[in-house]
Structure 1
Amino acid sequence: MMNAYRSSNEYIFLNELILRTNIEQPIDIWDLTLKISKAAFMPRLDTVCLIEQALILLPNNKLNVLDLGTGSGTIVLRLVYERTSWISIGTDLSLTALTIANYNAYSLGLKELKAVNYIYSSWFRSLYLKRYGLIISNPPYISIKDLHLNKGSLPIEPTISLASSNNGLQSLFNICLSSVFFLTYGGWLLLEHGYNQGSIVRAFILSLSFKGVHSIKDYSNERITIGRLL
């Protein structure tokens, strides 16, 4: 299914600017039709790679999953649709984004199955110290000083979902640090990051005693970094 998606539906991403001119538009993620919004980050091919890696790593066994900065719910909804035994929570600091995410969960019938819930939270702040087998996130990783924020489709999207301090690394560092307290033993951390941030993110995760830390290329650049808490 995934290879077919990549070969036949990339026009979704090429038409990004058109889709993003309206508040709500349907978008197909593999065979799921989801609503998107200007209040949430637009899914891109890098995020598809992030989802793929989670599905490759983890089978359809019972698992608690945490999606940080869920936006319109794209990542978590695709995961629980493919892995019916997973129970997932998505967090976001935008109430509008969470409204869209909840709509998407209900429209797919996943809300009734209690497969996914959403929480208004800045990363882990509103969460109890529950342990998760997978923490996954596509956080803001562009520097707040990056001139690209004013180019292409980026000005249309909320800056809070794109940019972070410390040269774009602060949100990534915050997630890595806190994930130690929220992952189960043997749990996985999967992060999307900038094309030139892989070595820094790997080094930081290794400093927290994660094992098997490595980065994955999307098509040409390292965009996904993975580690396991052991």
Structure 2
Amino acid sequence: MTQPVMMFAAGFGTRMGALSAKQPKPLIHVAGRALIDHALDLARAVDAAPIVANAHYRAEMLAAHLAPLAVQVTHETPDILDTGGGLRAALPLLGPGPVITMNTDAIWSGPNPLSLLLRYWNPEVMDALLICVPLDQAIGRKGTGDFTRMDDGRIQRGGDLVYGGVQILKTDGLAEIDAPVFSLNRLWDQMQAQGRLFAHVYPGRWCDVGTPEGIPLAEDLLRGGEHV
């Protein structure tokens, strides 16, 4: 059975400054390739299908880039829907089962995080499984982490683990949220309250490419640099 993947690509990329003034952030190049193409490599390596991306800012540019790559695009208009609203709007393309979601502004060095999700996913006890990165392996991350992982794999808010931007989750709860625009944090909060929000700790390194300063760090990581 193939695994559907949702790629979040609708944001404005304001932290990128001039680099995103005339193009969406997922098309900014790292090591000679668009950020979203690095993410697509991970999805294709696990034979994901369908692959869906949302688009809002400069949507026509993103759609033109993805058209020959067998990626379906959902256009969020007139308003951007945030991660939760965007995922819910894409469900007719993704289907009713669990979905892998991916941010498209990170570079990974180590095992394919999607392979780890599929290996450790246990729908009997989990509603979501997040890949989280220890702070000392999260290159370009400033500030504190997002979560703490308990011995049984469940997670709580606050701690020294950074959410790496990929997860597998059940989407049933999206229908219960009475808002057109909302973050997946709302769904996570429900799952955590029910003891069904889990994480796997990534063994490699990860680089945030949310600002221009992240680009050389990510390129050094891809070259195997040790000083990042």
Q: TM class, shorter-chain normalised?
A: 0.3 to 0.5
TM-score by length of 2: 0.32
TM-score by length of 1: 0.32
Higher relative CO (Cα under 8 Å, sequence separation at least 6) belongs to 2
